[in-house]
Amino acid sequence: MKYTSLSALFVQTLIRCLCWLMWVPAGVAVSADSVDASSAGAHELSGRRALYEGERGTTCADYLGGVLPWERPGGDWRDARGKLFGDQPYAETTPDLTGAKWDVTGLVRKWVDTGTRRGGVVVRALGTGNSATFHSREARSPADWPVLIVELTGGGREMLKPTADTHLSCSTYRPQGRSETLRVVGTDASLLQFDLPASIVGRRLVRAQLVLFNAAAPRANPMRLGVFEMATPSFPASAVHHGLAADYPADKGIERNPEVVFASGFDEWTDWRSRWAKASTGYYEVVKDDWQRRFEPLTGNALRVLIKQGHNSGADLRLYLKDLGGEVDELYFRYYLRLADDWDPTVEGGKLPGLAGTYGEAGWGGRRSDGTKGWSLRGAFLRAFPSDHPFRGLTQLSTYAYHADMKDFYGDSWIWPGALLERNRWYSIEQQVRLNRPGVADGIMRVWVDGRLVMERQKIKLRNVDRLRIETVWINVYHGGVAKSPQDQHLYVDNVVVARKYIGPLAVKPSIGK
């Protein structure tokens, strides 16, 4: 008997029986193409994108919280014509007493034909009406789980449970993925992700149907619901940009370039230290070998910074521009960063090097910027991802910004999309800051990782008075906030260059180990 001729009750009974045979614990996320973080390079980041139901997961604002935002709040989708945010669904229906069923053959056939192994569905309201509430994959009974039924030539059938599902509530910043229900109300949609098994590849698709079961009795005036394809946001895909460093293999002689303000590879420690503030503090030393932490040098010596267990501060080193020709309104700061084998900030994030003009008055430590006393744009690292997160084992970087338009006493976080760093690998980190005209929000900040632009933010206001300029290059490594480091953690810094023009990555990167 064809599936389309079965009664709704019998369909659910059939699904209940089959779901018990294919049972997977509701709290376990299954990813067909997940990879171990230790082997994941930047080119593999796109393949690791996936809905995530836990903390720092999918929300109204973010596809992945703290990693990758939606193009616009409320989630991104493509319609049946391939139009972003289009209004033509692949299928539409009105829920009945049992739930809702859509013929999504066209969408799944597209996935099969294009070799898509992970597909996403967005269920949205097509008009006005009461909200719809369905069981999610976290429902206690497997018979209530959402299911994608895929029929193949030769009588084959696959019944797929979502590997993740959630609903987007724009009234909260919290993920809703661990809820036992999926809701569609107003502009708030539900999202489901399915991993297609290898058994479907190369097979002819006959039919695909998406089935959701009611978690609450439908009310009068039910809304009509449409199925769209989820449009997964992408990481920045800019080309590698080369700059001043392209003419100086391994940075040799780059300090003689007239645009360079300062350069150090830490191979002349005495000379390097004499040019930094005498009041610098922290736990740091220059090393050439550190085999216990799988260190491999970049071009010679490197600065090793330690955040001790039970402590916050790793390093506080400041290069004052007044000692190097004077303070400026625009500057480029490039350094190489390597996170050690013991790097694992599981408790809280913290600060990394950046540019600042605090003048000892404002712009750090809860001393709010107002445009008249001080500012800072330090780099930052976020707390480690949970063990089941798609980007587990990687460290997300951002800017920790004290700026004139900030609302709180503590800095704002500006994420660098795609800046997800592995341990035991050298990365070129370059930050450009162009101060705004006093009182005018026309400042600019850009960030490049390995020469690729990962963040550009315009219309920044850092100052309302002329006297605030770029005062310091600030090599700051700090755990927290307030929370102390749960264990000793190390990182390495090398090949620092400060210039008036874009610097770019090394022309030759000898001995960059993984």
Distance CA 167, CA 305 (A): 42
pLDDT band at 508 (very low <50, low <70, confident <90, very high): low
Q: Mind listing the pLDDT tens digit for each residue in 186-206?
A: 999 999 999 999 888 777 889
Q: Mind listing the pLDDT tens digit for each residue in 341-356?
A: 999 999 999 999 999 9
Give the per-residue pLDDT at 156: 84
Q: How many residues does the chain have?
A: 514
Q: Mind listing the pLDDT tens digit for each residue in 261-319?
A: 999 998 875 566 677 776 788 999 999 999 999 999 999 999 999 999 999 999 999 99
pLDDT band at 22 (very low <50, low <70, confident <90, very high): very low
Which of 422, 450, 256, 442 has its CA nearest to residue 335?
450
- Our separate counts of H helices and E strands in the chain read 3, 29
CB within 8 A of 97, min separation 6: which ones?
8, 214, 217, 218
Kindly state the tokens that stand for 298.
Answer: 């970049």
Q: Mind listing the pLDDT tens digit for each residue in 396-407?
A: 999 999 999 999
Which of 288, 233, 219 has its CA nearest to residue 73?
233
Give the per-residue pLDDT at 36: 31
Separation in Å, CA 184 to CA 5, 128, 170, 304: 27, 11, 12, 51
- The one-letter amino acid at 277: A
Give the per-residue pLDDT at 328: 98
What is the model's pTM?
A: 0.85
- The one-letter amino acid at 27: G
Q: Mind listing the pLDDT tens digit for each residue in 438-496?
A: 999 999 999 999 999 999 999 999 999 999 999 999 999 999 989 999 999 999 999 99
Return the exposure string of 289-301: e unless at least 16 CB atoms fall within 10 Å of the residue's CB, then b.
ebeebebbbbbbb
pLDDT band at 16 (very low <50, low <70, confident <90, very high): very low
Determine contact, residues 142/132, Cβ cutoff 8 Å. Answer: no
Q: Which helix (H) or strand (E) holds 158?
A: strand 157-160
Q: Is the pLDDT of residue 434 over 80?
A: yes
Determine contact, residues 167/184, Cβ cutoff 8 Å. Answer: yes
Section 358-374 average pLDDT: 96
3-state secondary structure 351-411: EEEEEEECCCCCCECCECCCCCCCEEEEEEECCCCCCCCCCCCCEEEEEEEECCCCCCCCC
Q: Which helix (H) or strand (E) holds 105?
A: helix 105-114
Give the per-residue pLDDT at 513: 44
Mean pLDDT of the chain: 89
Q: Mind listing the pLDDT tens digit for each residue in 74-108?
A: 999 999 999 999 999 999 999 999 999 999 999 99
Candidate from 147-161, 194-208, 389-403 with smallest mean pLDDT: 194-208
Q: Is the pLDDT of residue 382 over 70?
A: yes
